[in-house]
Amino acid sequence: FGSNQAEALRRLNNARASFRTLGHMEGEVFTREAEAANNLHQGKHEESRQQLRAAISMAKERGLGRSVMSMTAKLADSYIETGEYQEARVRLEEGGGTGTARADLEVAIALGKVHGRLGDFDDARERLTRALASVNSSGLMALVPSALTALGEVEYESDRASEARAYFQ
């Protein structure tokens, strides 16, 4: 968004209004998702969650399934950051695997991370290892850092420091 947050949000809201006027639902969903990401990065979790829930509802209403899974993963990330692991797990499991390959992998990584935070290290390790293999085979290399970081966290929390170090490196 740049350094002037107020100006960026003003422009985002103008874009949303234009998309709404034009009936371009995908653009309106995107602007809500962008504002939610901004709020999430600022630690405004409730505002972010409201935007994401509204965007998810709009995307489902208009059959924009490829956006739903990605936003579900972002919504779960907000719950993970605030320690609400069960809520994150429920959101991710309700979403199922119905998005694009990238979105489904984002959800798989988030679900592995949640299981690790809940203390189910074996399940988390298995989920994340599968997700990492899928990321590597799909060529979606932008997801590699999230998968490796999540695996490192699971190993660290399960007192396997040398394995954690390898993933973090």
118-138, pLDDT tens digit by residue? 999 999 999 999 999 999 999
- Cα–Cα distance between 69 and 93 in angstroms, integer? 11
What does DSSP assign to residue 143? G
pLDDT higher than threshold 60 for residue 2? no
Query: Distances in Å between the alpha carbon of 10 and those of 19, 53, 132?
Result: 14, 21, 38
φ/ψ bin of 144: left (φ > 0), alpha (ψ from -120 to 50), beta (otherwise): alpha
Q: Say if residue 79's pLDDT is above 50.
A: yes
Q: What is the mean pLDDT of the chain?
A: 89
- The phi and psi torsions of 22 (rounded to 5 degrees) equal -80, -10
Nearest to 36 by CA among 56, 63, 61, 60: 56
